[in-house]
């Protein structure tokens, strides 16, 4: 019997944190929700209790020129204080998240999401988390090996 597990994608922000997860076959990423920094630990614990989580895939907010900055420091702090501390047995993979918020907006436009709903930042954050996670999935070969460089 196969042991199924999920991956969880996280888009960390100062005010909101977008979360997505894969299906059990790890082929499709779907948005879960957007949570405040105060609520994220409880939400992640609930996800871990609900399903076996294989990895956390965290958006790594590089500057447009590819360098790390204040935003990467904030995400690194989140990884240390929340993920590594509370989920030490679940590996964390950082993946370049440049332009995922713009892609999220483009996807909402293509899907015909009304302008008022597109303005909801929480909606964009959870879609960005799904894009980060799907980018990770798409970068894996058929054997689960990464075809890109982990950051």
Q: What domains are there in the chain, each with its CATH number?
A: 6-138 (3.30.420.140)
Confidence (pLDDT) at 110? 74
The length of the chain in residues reads 151
Q: In degrees to the nearest 10, what's the CA dihedral of 25, 135, 35, 120?
A: -120
Residue 119 has pLDDT above 70, yes or no: no
Per DSSP, the three-state class of 68 is: coil
pLDDT in tens, 84-110: 999 999 999 999 887 677 676 666 677
Q: Under a CB-based contact definition with an 8 Å cutoff, are residues 151 and 95 in contact?
A: yes
Q: What is the pTM of this model?
A: 0.84
Q: Would you tell me how many other CB atoms lie within 10 Å of the CB of residue 61?
A: 22
Q: Would you tell me how many other CB atoms lie within 10 Å of the CB of residue 141?
A: 8
Confidence (pLDDT) at 144? 56
């Amino acid at each position: 019997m196969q042991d199924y597990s999920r991956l969880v994608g996280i888009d960390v922000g100062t005010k909101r944190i977008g979360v997505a997860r894969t299906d059990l076959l790890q082929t499709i990423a779907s948005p879960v929700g957007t949570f405040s920094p105060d609520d994220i630990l409880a939400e992640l614990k609930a996800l871990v209790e609900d399903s076996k989580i294989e990895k956390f895939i965290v958006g790594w907010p590089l500057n447009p020129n590819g360098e790390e900055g204040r935003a990467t420091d904030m995400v690194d702090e989140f990884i240390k204080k929340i993920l590594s501390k509370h989920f030490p047995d679940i590996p964390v993979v950082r993946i370049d998240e440049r332009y995922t918020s713009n892609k999220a907006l483009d996807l909402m436009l293509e899907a015909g999401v009304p302008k008022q709903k597109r303005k909801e930042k929480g909606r964009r954050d959870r879609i960005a988390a799904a894009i980060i996670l799907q980018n990770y999935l798409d970068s894996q070969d058929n054997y689960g090996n990464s075809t890109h460089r982990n950051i």
